[in-house]
Chain A
Amino acid sequence: MSTQIQYYNHDDPATAMNLSQKASSLLSKSSLKRKSQVVSIVSAIEEPSEWAELEQVFLACLRTGDDESAHLCLERITTRFGAANHRIMGLRGLYQEAEAKTEEDLRRILQGYNQIVKEDPMNIPIHKRRTALIRSIGMPGDALECLVQFLASFPSDTEAWCELSDLYQQQGLNQQAIFCMEEALLLAPNAWNLHARLGELNYLASQSAQEGIATNEKYLTEAVHRFARSVELCQDYLRGYYGLKLATDKLSSLPQSKSTNGLASETLRRLNTTAVAKLKHIVKQSSSTASGPRKAELIAAQALLDQSGS
């Protein structure tokens, strides 16, 4: 979808900081300055990736609190694409939210969003900003309602299904969260990280299920299936093998039931052995080169291996 914001690794604060420091050099680039129509005919063809980068720098500046640079970036993007562009409206909303000092400010921004959505119900970025703002000011129930309504109109929006799944999971409604993640997987059947996520959701559901061993087993079996699919789609996928080991461990520790759709204990044992072997291999192979979040993952994997004494 054209309105999606292109991804950059923002999770890591250090990355955000490095990115925000590029602001001044990027803003002084001549290719991103405003040109008259005559000049733009003879000058070099503009690179879409430069604008995408400017957008990322804008987000990083907002995050690191460099509001002045963020404002300059936003102005530059707005002059190029126009203030009525949906994506630009979303970015402007984001800027206002970041700038808001009081509850009153936030409420005013929310009213602005409501107004825009009422006038133009096809404005997807503002729909999403509105949901995010409602969720951020601590009204998860309203955010749920908002998202469900949005998905009734835009059922092919994978990102929204994932957000809904996350929101349900946060509210402790595991079954609903699993349903939403399954819907997202229908739209992106090759997404290995979503398969792993669905496996995790099933695993969580099995840990909190109160309905007895049969339901537990059902969830865990599903989790094993999903983790297995994720490692099938992505070789040496640490997250997938981690989940596979956890789920197979738990499933084989359950008392044997007579249900026919469960996995054979021999299959489980082999899956578990494979997962352990693969985890050891991955930890050994990449622990010397890893850094940042990846390093933390490897440490967790090592801890899991140590814990089970294998």
Chain B
Amino acid sequence: MSALSRLLVSVGLLSLFHAAYSAQEVSIIATQLHVKPDLPVDIKAETLVAVFLACLGLVLGSDQLKPIAWNVWAGNIEKEGGAANPFRLFEDRPNYLDIRAKRREFAEWAKNGAIGAS
């Protein structure tokens, strides 16, 4: 949640409480004076604005939406190198790993890589 959205949500909630408090006061005074309680238009407007601000803040502060289309999701995985591809093990087949060949390959890489890297 960014600072802006936090601010919007807190301002929205505060003024919502303020509107509720005002409405409560109006109702008490109206009862004491024995008149028909009629909510002033500024309290109504404040309520609507407060709810709108709080909702806006929540929407702005929510996480980025995740892809719901298969091809977009798969495309993102491939863009990141494909390590998260759930079907990758069918091509790498870790249960059929030829560990001796892999060890030789690594030793080879370490010998050449050490020269190349330094």
Residues of A within 8 A of B (CB): 3-5, 7-11, 13-14, 16-17, 59, 62-65, 90, 94, 97-98, 100, 124-125, 128-129, 131-132, 135-136, 158-159, 162-163, 166, 184, 188, 190-194, 197, 232-238, 286, 292-294
Contact between A7 and B100, CB atoms less than 8 A apart: no
Contact between A237 and B75, CB atoms less than 8 A apart: yes
Question: With A and B bound together, what is the CA distance between A91 and B79 in angstroms?
Answer: 32
- Decide: A236 near B95, CB < 8 A? Known: A62-B103, A159-B89: no
- Decide: A193 near B87, CB < 8 A? Known: A64-B106, A236-B75: yes
Option from A9, A11, A59, A128 in Cβ contact (under 8 Å) with B96: A128
By Cβ-Cβ distance, the 8 closest A-B pairs, closest first, are A191-B87, A235-B75, A234-B74, A128-B95, A13-B109, A5-B94, A132-B96, A9-B83
Contact between B100 and A98, CB atoms less than 8 A apart: yes
B97 at interface, CB cutoff 8 A: yes
Question: With A and B bound together, what is the CA distance between A163 and B74 in angstroms?
Answer: 23
- Decide: A234 near B78, CB < 8 A? Known: A63-B106, A159-B95: yes
Contact between A234 and B71, CB atoms less than 8 A apart: yes
- Decide: A10 near B94, CB < 8 A? Known: A97-B100, A98-B100: yes
Option from A8, A97, A235, A236 in Cβ contact (under 8 Å) with B99: A97
The interface bits of chain B over 83-118 (1 if a CB of A lies within 8 angstroms of the residue's CB, else 0) are: 101011111111111111111011101100100000
Question: With A and B bound together, what is the CA distance between A16 and B107 in angstroms?
Answer: 12
Residues in B with CB closer than 8 Å to A62 are 99, 103
- Decide: A233 near B103, CB < 8 A? Known: A5-B94, A11-B92, A163-B93: no
Option from B90, B95, B100 in Cβ contact (under 8 Å) with A191: B90
Interface size, B (range): 35 or more
Question: With A and B bound together, what is the CA distance between A132 and B95 in angstroms?
Answer: 8
Residues in A with CB closer than 8 Å to B82 are 193
Report 9 cross-chain contacts, Cβ distance below 8 Å, ordered by A residue.
A5-B94, A10-B94, A94-B99, A124-B95, A128-B95, A193-B91, A232-B71, A234-B74, A234-B78
Residues in A with CB closer than 8 Å to B74 are 192, 233-235, 237
Question: With A and B bound together, what is the CA distance between A229 and B109 in angstroms?
Answer: 36
